[in-house]
Amino acid sequence: MTIFNKNNSDLQLWLSVLRSKGIGAKTFWQLYAKDPLFSDVQTVDVSEEMQQHIDLGFSFCAGFDESYPEKLRSLIDAPPVFSYAGDVSLLQQPCIGIVGARNASPGGRRLAFDIAHELGKAGFITVSGMARGIDGAAHEGSIETGTIAVLAGGVDVIYPPEHAKLYEKLRGAGDTKPKGCVISEMPLGTAPAAPLFPRRNRIIAALCDGLVVIEAAAKSGTLITAMHAMELGRDVFVVPGSPLDPRSRGGNALIKQGAILVESAEDILAHYVDNKPRLRRSLEEPKQKQSGMIPVKPINTTSKVIDNSLHSDISSNGDWFACLGLDPLSIEEIMLQNKGLLASELFVQLASLEMDGVIKRFPDGRIAKIFR
């Protein structure tokens, strides 16, 4: 059964603005910041598109909906509305992206399957792009514990065609419960095209707490995903490869730039046990069976007890944290108020603070402190 948001009129308004000529996600949020009612925007009729979603068994999730994943809000061009099928609650849980070459080696595919399988048993949801090679192997490895496929085309367009069975498992077919979720920000029927894959990749990066790269050429979409993840302050893990294999050059280069070298799921889990106590606590919550799957409790970003001792290092660089208040500030404003603060350091600290529920990041990229 397709379930729309509580306020269907708001959904229709948002979608009609988003589908208007010349309005993308970034422009949408700029308009929204000025006037949430979009009084001066020339909208289009989206009633047919909404009915198609009902007829085909898909649903919408908008930025005002409770099920909208908070991690997506870290994008300045977060999708105001996206389509999905399957278990959308998976997007709220601790997630690891696994991406890599389409022409992956047998060893690379085996590693992707095994890492996804082990991380799934530990409580992570796997996120990937349902492409050939590494993506498909990662989805298959975590199909019993939950996996999310972010599509470049419409949510109803199965690409590549050989992943039709995987797609049906993820979204659920007939009386079969979904084993995952498929999502897309594109309208129904949109065919995958080259410009859409980088846009898809930013969503994969945003949904993840960490991203694993397995076999990536020097110039590949995988590296775009990794760059997005780094910019968002996500952990980037790389399985190293032979310098003689072109499929390893991009990943090896990421390691030189500071990505974390890993060889197994155990390396990734050890990183979170040692460095991310909040995420570790979330993963250690008792697992409960739900919808035929074994999800973990979502990361709690609404805790009333904030341990500021975790952020004692913020006092450096002119104590930039002190400039935050209830009124949101842009990154540029924070930098202007704190001369000498490095953007790279700021992004890393912001990501940690956001994960621990100390700050809130708005759709337009501005930051505000959370007071409890």
Strand, helix or coil for residue 307:
coil
Q: Please indicate, yes or no, if residue 291 is contained in any of the structural domains.
A: no
Q: What is the DSSP letter of 290?
A: B
67 and 98 housed in the same domain: no
76 and 93 housed in the same domain: no
CB 334 within 8 A of CB 346: yes
Domain count for the chain, please give it. 3
49 and 161 housed in the same domain: no
Burial class (CB in 10 A: 0-12, 13-18, 19+), 260: middle
Bridging pattern class, strands 125-128 and 147-150: parallel
156 and 239 housed in the same domain: yes
For the cut 90, the answer to whether the pLDDT of residue 311 exceeds it is: no
When computed from its CA atoms, the radius of gyration of the chain, rounded to whole angstroms, is 20
Chosen domain end from 22, 55, 84: 84
138 and 210 housed in the same domain: yes
DSSP string for residues in 215-257:
S--SSSHHHHHHHHHHHTT-EEEEE---TTSGGGHHHHHHHHT
121 and 224 housed in the same domain: yes
For the cut 60, the answer to whether the pLDDT of residue 75 exceeds it is: yes
CA angle 115, 119, 123 (to 5 degrees): 170
138 and 104 housed in the same domain: yes
Q: pLDDT tens digits, residue range 151-169?
A: 999 999 999 999 999 999 9
pLDDT for the residue numbered 61: 96
CA–CA distance from 25 to each of 17, 78, 182, 185, 353 (Å)?
Answer: 10, 6, 20, 10, 25
Q: pLDDT tens digits, residue range 329-354?
A: 777 778 777 777 776 677 767 776 77
69 and 216 housed in the same domain: no
Question: What's the distance, Cα to Cα, between the start and end of the chain in Å?
Answer: 37
**Which whole number is the average pLDDT over 207-219?**
94
38 and 95 housed in the same domain: no
Output the domain CATH number for residue 176. Answer: 3.40.50.450
pLDDT for the residue numbered 315: 34
pLDDT for the residue numbered 334: 80
Q: Please indicate, yes or no, if residue 300 is contained in any of the structural domains.
A: no
178 and 214 housed in the same domain: yes
Chosen domain end from 84, 107, 123: 84
Q: Distance between CA atoms of 9 and 15, rounded to whole angstroms?
A: 10
Measured from the Cβ of residue 72, the count of other Cβ atoms closer than 10 Å reads 20
Q: What percent of the chain has pLDDT over 70?
A: 81
CA–CA distance from 10 to each of 14, 68, 77, 88 (Å)?
Answer: 6, 14, 19, 20
For the cut 90, the answer to whether the pLDDT of residue 189 exceeds it is: yes
pLDDT for the residue numbered 321: 76
Q: Please indicate, yes or no, if residue 253 is contained in any of the structural domains.
A: yes
pTM: 0.74
Which range (35-39, 312-316, 355-359) has the least confidence?
Answer: 312-316
Of residues 175 and 272, the one with the higher pLDDT is: 272
98 and 227 housed in the same domain: yes
For the cut 70, the answer to whether the pLDDT of residue 11 exceeds it is: yes
Q: Distance between CA atoms of 32 and 82, rounded to whole angstroms?
A: 17
**Which whole number is the average pLDDT over 236-243?**
94
165 and 228 housed in the same domain: yes
Q: Please indicate, yes or no, if residue 296 is contained in any of the structural domains.
A: no
- Look at the block and give the residue holding tokens 């979502």: 298
Query: Which structural domain range is residue 320 located in?
Result: 308-369
In the predicted model, what is the mean pLDDT of the chain? 83
Sign of CA dihedral 46, 52, 55, 56: negative
- Three-state SS string across 30-59, please? HHHHHCCCCCCCCCCCCHHHHHHHHHHCCE
